[in-house]
Chains A and B, each alone.
Chain A
Amino acid sequence: GAVVSQHPSWVICKSGTSVKIECRSLDFQATTMFWYRQFPKQSLMLMATSNEGSKATYEQGVEKDKFLINHASLTLSTLTVTSAHPEDSSFYICSAFEGALETQYFGPGTRLLVL
């Protein structure tokens, strides 16, 4: 149980294009999902908290107009990187909060490379 999927697993795009990443909780409902990014040999850095049916809460320093988050259902949250630039290249990981277990379950991650 508590499986989270992410799609795509990797993406290469040209500078200036937008990229959408999907995060799904497969066997539980999640009112809260989280988006992280991770640079090599660094810890996971929380970007934003996504609550179903309401606006996402962004961490300090994260541009909400650049990283658009939509949590339209209890099993799906999406992150759109708009007008991507090479410095946006990173490993993006989502998680879904399983309330009964008080635990975040993570997706497998999406590797984004912006050329």
Chain B
Amino acid sequence: SQKIEQNSEALNIQEGKTATLTCNYTNYSPAYLQWYRQDPGRGPVFLLLIRENEKEKRKERLKVTFDTTLKQSLFHITASQPADSATYLCALDSGYSTLTFGKGTMLLVSP
């Protein structure tokens, strides 16, 4: 069956360091993959979309890589700040604009 795995343990890092979050998937051939940020009690906020034929995408302090051979995406936040503390969700296109979400990884950036 299709599966999306994100590290369930919270990631604790110090301000200024680079945070790296992982998304692994099985039994999928997604056309694209997306990353969202979710704060407690709020809806997800779109961050980045990367297509299957793209290896890497950047937006300000964010960088996403997509390896369709390894079936893995890495999400990096450079020069992390306490305001980056949130849960980050990986989502895969399931076809017909439908997304399937991972459970998310909580990131805690301490000053």
A residues neighboring B (CB under 8 Å): 2, 4, 6, 32, 34, 41-44, 46, 49, 91, 93, 95, 97, 99, 101-109, 111
Contact = CB atoms under 8 A, between A and B. Distances in A.
Contacts of A95: 43
A93 B103 CA distance: 15
Contacts of A105: 46
B43 A109 contact: yes
Interface in B42-96: 42-46, 49, 89, 96
Contacts of A93: 43-44
Contact of A43 (B41, B49, B102): B102
Interface residues of B, number: 20
Given A97-B97, A102-B49, A103-B34, A43 B89 contact: yes
| A contact face: mostly helix, strand, loop, or mixed | strand
B27 interface: no
Contacts of A46: 98-100
A104 B99 contact: yes
